[in-house]
Chain A
């Protein structure tokens, strides 16, 4: 029997949902608004919501003082590179664990996940020293490597669960139909796994793009991605709220646009298999 829903109830819950959504969105909105204020107005009490002197000077200053595009390209290369390498390692790894599991497969998966349970800061010092001695500090390659390794467990886990969802019968049917391993991969497995592959790729890219701990600690200028670009506006000389906001808006814009256009794929990938 369907539950009875009164019009009042619908109205109340809709309003509550909008309010909740707005609360979550508020910090981002406030940041965007602040980026169009002058530094003085950014501090003003009580804060001004919309009636302030709109200006784009922060954006001009930010671009002038520190090269946005340099950092954006770094972010793109680091997030893209680490995602690509992670996928190349994770696909065959997840594949073999899903389709040819051994007695130890569960243990290996747990062990990989356990590496994510340790706080990163716990290994900051040894990693920093290793990077220093190998000349990897402030190098894009170094950041690609650390982000790739950091996300690898999650990527393998995600892919493993997607591959697990593919019924074994279908692969056996393909084998009976005369498909070689290669053709099975191309014609049957990959098309069936595409939603999972796509959402894993997207999520990993977003995680890598937003990663701040390692990027802040292991890079300064040459390899610095947008996270460092943002952080540079919170300096010992003081906080520049408006400029910081402008820098942040610029930094998160690409990822928000990416998320916006791929949200269907993301949601579908993350709920894959939940509802048949």
Chain B
């Protein structure tokens, strides 16, 4: 079991409020990603759940039990750190076994569990090596091994892949997601990378300046962002925002349309503009279009479109895919 509930959780460091009233319900077995720009409080929220920081107010429930004031080890959670945080003087075996040793398990049980965890993570040949003799990816696996061997109620990941190179990151991303499904253990994963968030999560928590802006599945956030912040944060390239008045809709403050929902034409309809930069990525082409009063717009089209800088084009937004926001930045649902 691993149901985690936050009720009115607050955290301040001195006069600074890092987390302002967080309420969240994380279902057992789900993979939840905390995402947001740096300094938004996502890591702090994770550390509050872990027990590495004390809450200023509110309750954290794990399987219905309030764990505020309970030391980290007694919460039944395990954590994977950004820096891996392996014990440098212990072998891989010692690292993975440490938690079990602290829990006072008999030697034979420890050995069996460590072997099993190592086998799951393809670490068996490295069990007697020291962390410094391993590559970045292997160290990351050891850190994960240390987390899974304790059979926790939930895994907490604090930007675990950010120290790996791009190719390895994609590979580990899949491995972590697969492992979590296989173990069916609740996981909370912190990242600033929205691609990681979108690809791994069952549900995403978007955080900004200590507030939970939206909580939902990746597609929900993409299709129905609750406010300007989420609309701008989720999706790459970023959603285009146009003032409602200029776009001919004076009743809304801001109109949002994603680059992939702009139809591009060589003449006629929609918003006229001039291509200022065309990025050809092969599969896609990103056009950065100077649209006069509308500002700089980004449009995405398939790679074969042969536009270049200086071309005069017309952009017409898909009316079904328009996002309308009021003057407070909150979405207007019709």
A contact residues vs B (CB 8 Å cutoff): 167, 169-170, 172-179, 183, 187-188, 191-192
Bound complex: CA of A187 vs CA of B72, how far in Å?
18
Tell me which residues from 53 to 101 in chain B have a Cβ below 8 Å from any Cβ of chain A: 71-74, 77-79, 81-83, 85-89, 98-99
Q: Which residue from B78, B79, B87 sits with its C-beta under 8 Å from A170? A: B87
Decide if B103 touches A188 in the complex (CB within 8 Å). Answer: no
Decide if B72 touches A176 in the complex (CB within 8 Å). Answer: yes
Most chain B CB neighbours (cut-off 10 Å) among A167, A172, A188, A191: A172
The answer to whether A173 and B102 touch (CB under 8 A), given A179-B73, A191-B89, A192-B89, is no
Decide if B85 touches A175 in the complex (CB within 8 Å). Answer: no
Report the nearest A residue to B152, measured CB to CB: A176
Q: Which residues of B contact A170 (CB under 8 A)?
A: 85-88
Bound complex: CA of A194 vs CA of B102, how far in Å?
22
Q: Mark B24-48, 1 if CB is under 8 A from A, else 0.
A: 0000000000000000000000000
Question: Is B52 in the interface zone, CB < 8 Å from A?
Answer: yes
CB-defined A-B contacts under 8 Å, sample of 15 = A169-B82, A170-B87, A172-B52, A173-B79, A173-B81, A173-B85, A173-B146, A175-B52, A175-B71, A176-B73, A176-B79, A176-B99, A177-B146, A178-B74, A178-B103
Question: Is B221 in the interface zone, CB < 8 Å from A?
Answer: no
Decide if B83 touches A176 in the complex (CB within 8 Å). Answer: no
Minimum Cβ distance to chain A for residue B154 (Å) = 12
Most chain A CB neighbours (cut-off 10 Å) among B71, B83, B86, B98: B98
Decide if B72 touches A167 in the complex (CB within 8 Å). Answer: no
Decide if B85 touches A167 in the complex (CB within 8 Å). Answer: yes
The 5 closest A-B pairs by CB, nearest first: A178-B73, A169-B85, A177-B99, A178-B102, A173-B85
Report the nearest B residue to A177, measured CB to CB: B99
List 6 other contacts, CB 8 Å, given A175-B52, A179-B102: A169-B83, A177-B78, A177-B98, A179-B73, A191-B89, A192-B87
Q: Which residues of B contact A169 (CB under 8 A)?
A: 81-83, 85
Question: Is B205 in the interface zone, CB < 8 Å from A?
Answer: no
The answer to whether A178 and B99 touch (CB under 8 A), given A169-B81, A172-B81, A173-B79, is yes
Question: Is B231 in the interface zone, CB < 8 Å from A?
Answer: no
Q: Which residues of B contact A187 (CB under 8 A)?
A: 87, 98
Bound complex: CA of A176 vs CA of B98, how far in Å?
11
Question: Is B50 in the interface zone, CB < 8 Å from A?
Answer: yes
Minimum Cβ distance to chain B for residue A168 (Å) = 9
Q: Mark B91-128, 1 if CB is under 8 A from A, else 0.
A: 00000001100110000000000000000000000000
Q: Which residues of B contact A177 (CB under 8 A)?
A: 73, 78, 98-99, 102, 146, 150
Minimum Cβ distance to chain A for residue B187 (Å) = 15
B contact residues vs A (CB 8 Å cutoff): 50, 52, 71-74, 77-79, 81-83, 85-89, 98-99, 102-103, 146, 150
Decide if B72 touches A188 in the complex (CB within 8 Å). Answer: no
Bound complex: CA of A183 vs CA of B50, how far in Å?
20
The answer to whether A175 and B73 touch (CB under 8 A), given A169-B83, A183-B102, is yes
Q: Which residues of B contact A179 (CB under 8 A)?
A: 73, 98, 102
Q: Which residues of A contact B88 (CB under 8 A)?
A: 170, 192
Minimum Cβ distance to chain A for residue B123 (Å) = 17
Bound complex: CA of A174 vs CA of B81, how far in Å?
12
Q: Which residue from B78, B82, B87 sits with its C-beta under 8 Å from A176? A: B78
Q: Which residues of B contact A172 (CB under 8 A)?
A: 52, 72, 79, 81, 85
Bound complex: CA of A187 vs CA of B86, how far in Å?
13
Q: Which residues of A contact B71 (CB under 8 A)?
A: 175
Bound complex: CA of A187 vs CA of B103, how far in Å?
14
Most chain B CB neighbours (cut-off 10 Å) among A169, A178, A179: A178
Minimum Cβ distance to chain B for residue A38 (Å) = 56
Bound complex: CA of A244 vs CA of B85, how far in Å?
56
Bound complex: CA of A172 vs CA of B77, how far in Å?
13
Q: Which residues of B contact A176 (CB under 8 A)?
A: 50, 52, 72-73, 77-79, 99
Decide if B87 touches A188 in the complex (CB within 8 Å). Answer: yes
Bound complex: CA of A177 vs CA of B72, how far in Å?
8
Report the nearest A residue to B104, measured CB to CB: A178
Minimum Cβ distance to chain A for residue B254 (Å) = 41
Minimum Cβ distance to chain B for residue A166 (Å) = 9
Minimum Cβ distance to chain B for residue A51 (Å) = 54
Decide if B102 touches A167 in the complex (CB within 8 Å). Answer: no
Bound complex: CA of A192 vs CA of B90, how far in Å?
10
Report the nearest A residue to B83, measured CB to CB: A169
Q: Which residues of A contact B74 (CB under 8 A)?
A: 178
Report the nearest B residue to A183, measured CB to CB: B102
Q: Which residues of B contact A183 (CB under 8 A)?
A: 102
Q: Which residue from B50, B77, B83, B89 sits with its C-beta under 8 Å from A167? A: B83
Q: Which residues of A contact B99 (CB under 8 A)?
A: 176-178
